[in-house]
Amino acid sequence: MKLGTEEIAKYPFLTEAGNYLREKGFTLEQFGSDSDLKPIIELAINRIQTAADGKIFNSDFSIKNLDKEVFSFLIAVILLKQSGMNTLIKRFSLSEARRAEKFLEKDLVNLHTNDELAIKIIKDLFSMNVTKSGDYFVIPASDYLMHAVHFHEQEWKLVNRLVDGGNVFLSAHEAVRLIRKELDNYISKKINSANIPDLPESFRSSINTLLDLAKKFKVQIIETTEQPPCVKHALEILSKGENLPHSGRFMLATYLLNKGQTIEEVAPLFKNAPDYNEKITLYQLKHLAGNFGSGTKYACPSCEKLKSENLCFATPECANIVNPLQFGRKKITNA
């Protein structure tokens, strides 16, 4: 499919965008040395910084800026790959996935035929067949189940959806929401597998800017000798700056609070979450710790519940326990 510049600017992670610099007659050396191109490097860093702050980059689609939009994404990918900062790569991928989600949703709503780009992206990249029918987006139930498998909220259960003739009927927002995680993974894989030539020395200061930026995401992990695997896994995800689902954050917070950690000790662990907000985190932790209302402290979810949420990473040491709080406490009995 031949894409226009605006389409590439909306979805710069598509293969079609890969050769954009060369097609437009630019080399990396030029970006490093030509002062006229400096604003693009700055825009690329701004794009990464925005993602690092947990926000979504605001695109400018005026004709004169379309090239800049594409270039800034491609340069950001090059800088990120070169910096090797996984925390920033993860944050950038998530932010860019959210950005693309907005365009996909809009494009689905404005769809005229079922062979337009938004449908093609969803089908080609994520193997999900979508067709528009009136105000709905129709997906075969088998495709729906394949993508909804990681959603635990009741609203995503098939019984709570509009289903007819083996198809599920969704809004544009829901159809796109279904592929959020996969879009995020797709972009991060693209960055990690990008084949980047040696960068000219002139890029050094931009790389250093990213290395400085990544420093603020270093988290001090609370070390205890007896952490269960599910808790270790959740801490690992956070330390890498990856997104821990809300159910995972709930488990981690309730576990640590019930183990006697203070709110002040637990709160900094979440500062790497892409949507981190200090005020909200403290409020939620106080709520979990029982500082409001009836004063009831929330319990840590059971192992069974965590298993159903794909948060359990049981090892033989987990034998015979029903709650992570028992880990290391209960002796293994021989039958």
Tell me which residues touch ligand SF4 (CB under 6 A).
228-230, 303, 306, 312-314, 318, 321, 324, 327
In this complex, which beta carbon is closest to ligand SF4, that of residue 15 or of residue 320? 320
| Selection from 125, 130, 126, 127 nearest residue 111 by Cα | 130
For the chain, count helices (H), then strands (E). 16, 4
Q: At its nearest, how many Å lie between ligand SF4 and the CB of residue 240?
A: 19
Q: At its nearest, how many Å lie between ligand SF4 and the CB of residue 8?
A: 44
CA–CA distance from 148 to each of 67, 144, 153, 167, 282 (Å)? 36, 6, 10, 14, 31
In this complex, which beta carbon is closest to ligand SF4, that of residue 15 or of residue 308? 308
Q: At its nearest, how many Å lie between ligand SF4 and the CB of residue 229?
A: 4
Q: At its nearest, how many Å lie between ligand SF4 and the CB of residue 222?
A: 17
Spatial contact of 258 and 309, defined as CB atoms under 8 Å apart:
no
Render 25-73 in DSSP notation, one character per residue. Answer: T--HHHHHH-GGGHHHHHHHHHHHHHHHTT-------SGGGHHHHHHHH
User: Hey, what amino acid is at 7?
Assistant: E
Spatial contact of 169 and 162, defined as CB atoms under 8 Å apart:
yes
In this complex, which beta carbon is closest to ligand SF4, that of residue 179 or of residue 321? 321
Cβ partners under 8 Å of residue 111, min gap 6: 118, 119, 132
| Selection from 100, 108, 179, 104 nearest residue 137 by Cα | 108
In this complex, which beta carbon is closest to ligand SF4, that of residue 248 or of residue 274? 248
In this complex, which beta carbon is closest to ligand SF4, that of residue 210 or of residue 312? 312
Return the exposure string of 164-187: e unless at least 16 CB atoms fall within 10 Å of the residue's CB, then b.
eeebbbbebebbbbbbbbbbbebb
In this complex, which beta carbon is closest to ligand SF4, that of residue 112 or of residue 329? 329
Q: At its nearest, how many Å lie between ligand SF4 and the CB of residue 220?
A: 22
Q: At its nearest, how many Å lie between ligand SF4 and the CB of residue 56?
A: 33
Structure tokens at 219: 């988290």
Q: At its nearest, how many Å lie between ligand SF4 and the CB of residue 247?
A: 12
User: What is the Cα–Cα distance from 69 to 8, expressed in whole angstroms?
Assistant: 9
In this complex, which beta carbon is closest to ligand SF4, that of residue 293 or of residue 316? 316
